[in-house]
Amino acid sequence: MDLFRISPISGRRLTLKQYLFVHNYIINGYNATRAAVDSGYKADKYNSPKHIGYENLTKLHLRESISALLTEQGVTRAYVVKTLSVAVKSGIGKKPANSDTLRGLEMVFMLHGKV
């Protein structure tokens, strides 16, 4: 496990907590609050887990790392476009899971900074 992964674009080194946040963010379904708690960030009277998660998502090198990890896992822009096309052609609304799938893809697309 590469504990101190380097951000692919900016070249900044991630701390252990930041590295864990990136992975937990994806594992927890893009829930920044849960990822902050699971990564070991401690809340105090000034910083709640929600605030810490939000703040982490505003850091460019963390967003780059999230995008790079998604790409490593095969979730590329081409994959998102292809999957959206298939969902649209199959008839949105015919299956209850379509809206959930589309929302999930939209979130992934936003993570890659394409929306």
Average pLDDT over every residue of 9-25: 88
Whether residues 50 and 81 fall in one domain: no
pTM for the model stands at: 0.67
User: Number of folded domains in the chain?
Assistant: 2
Picking from 32, 30, 33, 4, the residue whose alpha carbon sits closest to that of residue 17 is 4
Q: Greater confidence, 78 or 49?
A: 49
The rounded distance, in Å, linking the Cα atoms of 1 and 17 is 14
Averaged confidence pLDDT in the chain: 80
Checking if the pLDDT of 1 tops 90, the result is: no
Q: Domain containing 6: what range?
A: 1-73
Q: Greater confidence, 31 or 5?
A: 31
Whether residues 18 and 31 fall in one domain: yes
Question: What residues does 13 pair with on adjacent strands?
Answer: 6
Whether residues 4 and 14 fall in one domain: yes
Q: Greater confidence, 91 or 62?
A: 62
Whether residues 4 and 39 fall in one domain: yes
Whether residues 60 and 106 fall in one domain: no
